[in-house]
Amino acid sequence: VREVLGCGFSDPAGLKEILVSMTGLGPGLTPSGDDFLTGILLIIHTGLPRILEERGRELAEGVREASAGTNDISRQYLLCAIRGEYGMGLHELVNACLTQEESSLACPENRGNGQPGQKEKIRRALEKTAAAGHSSGIDTLNGILAGIRLILEYEPCSPGK
């Protein structure tokens, strides 16, 4: 993870090399490296600013090519993620994070109607994702967090650099 964050979107070739090398690494029916990549791919599909879209496509293509190096089940999950297809739990997490409900961030209950507010929906979606598999959920969440940090820490190079 440190290598991924140290490289960042400013060095797309280095980042692609590091991410591709994670394919098939680690324990589990879906190896930890693949789950981490799924989280990164989720951020590529939902959170990249326009300036980084091409780099995101290049990373996804590198993962697609490298997916031959993992098991059949995990390869199918990665190929789905590359197409922007994720399990219900990840869709719920994205929707909870991106759906802005009036006053729901300030109140634990949404407008007093007994429905969970946005914070509660995010908490539940995080718990559901974290509970997936033996370590898959946590590994995927780590990929999501790394993807968010990559975006937040991206600094485009000026023409003089």
- Please report where in the chains the tokens 């590198």 appear, as a residue: 62
Contacts of 55 (CB under 8 A, 6+ apart): 9, 12, 15, 48
Chain segment 73-85, per-residue pLDDT in tens:
999 999 999 888 8
Residue 155 — very low, low, confident or very high, per pLDDT cuts 50/70/90? low
- Residue 42 sits at φ, ψ, to 5 deg, of -60, -45
Q: What angle do CA 135, 15, 93 make, to 5 degrees?
A: 40
Lowest mean pLDDT among 5-9, 20-24, 146-150: 5-9
Dig out the tokens for 140 from the structure: 């995927």
* pTM, entire model: 0.78
CA distance 86 to 75: 13
pLDDT (tens digit per residue) in 17-52: 888 888 898 988 899 999 999 998 898 888 777 767
Position 99 scores a pLDDT of 75
User: Which phi and psi (to 5°) does residue 159 adopt?
Assistant: -55, -25
Sign of CA dihedral 71, 33, 132, 92: negative
Q: What is the DSSP letter of 112?
A: G
Give Cβ neighbours of residue 85 (< 8 Å, ≥ 6 apart).
none
Q: Which residues contact 69 (CB under 8 A, 6 or more apart)?
A: 23, 24
Query: Are the CB atoms for 28 and 135 separated by under 8 Å?
Result: yes
pLDDT, tens only, 52-105: 777 788 888 888 888 888 999 999 999 999 888 888 888 888 888 877 665 444
